[in-house]
Amino acid sequence: MQALTDLGLAGNHLAALPNSVIQLAALQKLACNGNSLRQLPPSLMGLTSLKQLWLQRNRLVSIDPVAGLSVRLHQALALVCALLELVAI
């Protein structure tokens, strides 16, 4: 499972990302849209292969880990969140 490159967790009413996601070293696309996420774990920074992160339709109050990833992300969608912050990529 460590070779998994795309993971779709959209629409699962998740309040937090499962801890096992951080162990997916080859993960390139993570779709977390349509959940109830309020924050993202700092350990998200460990996903060094991540290129796409889909976060729209969540309840995020902070996108700090995404800001740290923005240098290597090709596409970060943090739209329609609880706060109106823009991440420049």
Q: Give one word for 13, left, alpha or beta, with left for phi > 0 and alpha for psi -120 to 50.
A: left
Section 64-73 average pLDDT: 67
State yes or no: pLDDT of 60 exceeds 80. Answer: yes
- Give the type of residue at 59: R
pLDDT for 16 equals 93
- Are 78 and 63 spatial neighbours (Cβ–Cβ below 8 Å)? yes
In three-state secondary structure terms, 40 is coil
Residue 83 or residue 33, greater confidence? 33
**pTM, to two decimals:** 0.78
Domain ranges in the chain? 6-77
Give the model's confidence band at 44: pLDDT under 50 very low, under 70 low, under 90 confident, else very high.
Answer: confident
- Of the chain, the end-to-end C-alpha distance in Å amounts to 29
| Domain 6-77 indexed as CATH 3.20.20.100 | no
pLDDT for 76 equals 63
